[in-house]
Structure 1
């Protein structure tokens, strides 16, 4: 084998090992109540974790809450913000914490813990899930009831993009990037009419937002979506419990199998830290990993 050929083989082996490297558990925190989303407040060196509490048919109203968790995984205040209906997605921007609650997009002042505003569609509850912030501080949240992405920006809360669910399928996770909004599909009907796992769709920013797709492969029932710092993503599959790495062209590989209920995680690129809520285990786990 020639020297260039050996170099190519060695590079391929290194690439495969890097892609397949398993995350290592750093800490685990328990005592939550159906934790769904986590976000890191760098200025205060702490995480916020949304807790749905009881959810689904017959759920107790108003038992959802937000927890404060230290950077090393200690629960600082379990019920920091209480009285929420079914809080899920979290986003930090504009000096505020935004929460996708069942009826409203809730706006909280992290300095005081006070609810500053509740944003709702004009015709009733939004049935909101994930939310995300772009670089300009606009907040995006998806209404399952209306099949519409709403945007909060410039003091206005309004419908921004009507989703074609025949293309995207049912949606869960959202993630804003520089020039587009990523949409994590739950399931979608294939050409044969049968239900199949979801994929990553996108909506471009600009005067005329356009719907697109990343790759052609099914990925899973996508909950969390986080950039990996190398042009790809990590996503969680709530249904299988898998944590996956997804390339820029939509190909995926399993990094960890964690059990059903892995939800809207966060990834701190500089620290190489994945923080993953587990809805059904009532725990949050942190893993060290870099692509």
Structure 2
């Protein structure tokens, strides 16, 4: 009897000493991102003249639109101008600032509006609407977009020379010259890196600010034009008339296509607090606003 009891105790002791299996933790698959949709809310009357870029002035709650006017967009014909619009699409002042040949990308720093103009950067004093400085870029061929860093550096793309310049303390320097940029157009500065959309290629890329190493995020956006941040993701336009949503994993979805209407999609602007995506239609001579849902 004692033997049986002893054997039973040994069995129980051995079972207690066996390592227990750790309960497997359930790992849920990453939540699928919801692709935003665009619904048109307004469009200006078609009295603009080849609008290329639109930017939001948060302090004054207005929009500025660059108008190339007559083409080609490299002609030094001095017929370009900047318009002021309300955020409801009313043209407040059609020719607010003139004496510019082919204004394209824009950026706001303090009370100044910086605008590309073929081979120079034009600085406009916003309160007075007066051009207060011009910064010529030697060798500039097709200055296009502008993006301003938190450190107040003005980055400028030159689509014609595969170059990105930087304006800082009234001095222009070449930041990067690289044929693999394939016609850099749209720029978006984001702290440690610079997002770039190529016009002659189909690449949407990220460039490290410190190392200047380029990483291709998407390679299927031909004619790349404007870039805006949308939460942790991006909207990227191409001049042909498309807007793409690119998530932070590099997945791309076409969310707007106006090619059948023969409307371009140039340098876009997004106003998060109003959930409005603004699109200059270039030869359509309007700016269209879309609610982002």
TM over 0.5: yes
- Aligned residue for 1:187, secondary structure, equals coil
Q: Equivalent of 2:49, from 29, 33, 37?
A: 33
Q: Equivalent of 2:187, from 153, 174, 192?
A: 174
Query: Which structure has the greater CA radius of gyration?
Result: 2
Q: Equivalent of 1:149, from 140, 164, 174?
A: 164
- Residue 273 of structure 2 is aligned to residue 270 of structure 1: yes
Q: Equivalent of 1:288, from 269, 286, 291?
A: 291
Question: Moved runs in structure 1, 4+ residues, more than 6 A?
Answer: none
Q: Equivalent of 1:133, from 148, 157, 165?
A: 148
> Structure 2: how far apart are the matches of 1:106 and 1:211?
29
Matches within 5 A, 1:36-75: 36-56=52-72, 61-75=77-91
Matches within 5 A, 1:191-270: 198-206=202-210, 209-215=211-217, 217-229=219-231, 231-239=232-240, 241-259=241-259, 260-270=263-273
Query: In 2, are the aligned partners of 1:36 and 1:279 still within 8 Å (CA)?
Result: yes
TM-score (norm 1): 0.84
Query: In 2, are the aligned partners of 1:104 and 1:126 still within 8 Å (CA)?
Result: no
- Aligned residue for 1:226, secondary structure, equals strand
- Residue 131 of structure 2 is aligned to residue 115 of structure 1: yes
Report deviation, 1:111: 0.5
* Matching residue of 2:122: 106
Query: In 2, are the aligned partners of 1:214 and 1:249 still within 8 Å (CA)?
Result: no
TM-score (norm 2): 0.83
> Structure 1: how far apart are the matches of 2:237 and 2:215?
18
- Cα distance per residue 1:122-177 (max 9 Å; x no partner): x3544311111111111011223443211111332221211x22x22222111111
> Structure 2: how far apart are the matches of 1:205 and 1:215?
16
Unaligned runs of 5+ in 1: 1-6, 189-197
Report deviation, 1:257: 1.0
Unaligned runs of 5+ in 2: 1-27
Query: In 1, are the aligned partners of 2:159 and 2:199 still within 8 Å (CA)?
Result: no
> Structure 2: how far apart are the matches of 1:117 and 1:41?
20
Aligned length: 263
Query: In 2, are the aligned partners of 1:90 and 1:99 still within 8 Å (CA)?
Result: yes
- Aligned residue for 2:217, secondary structure, equals coil
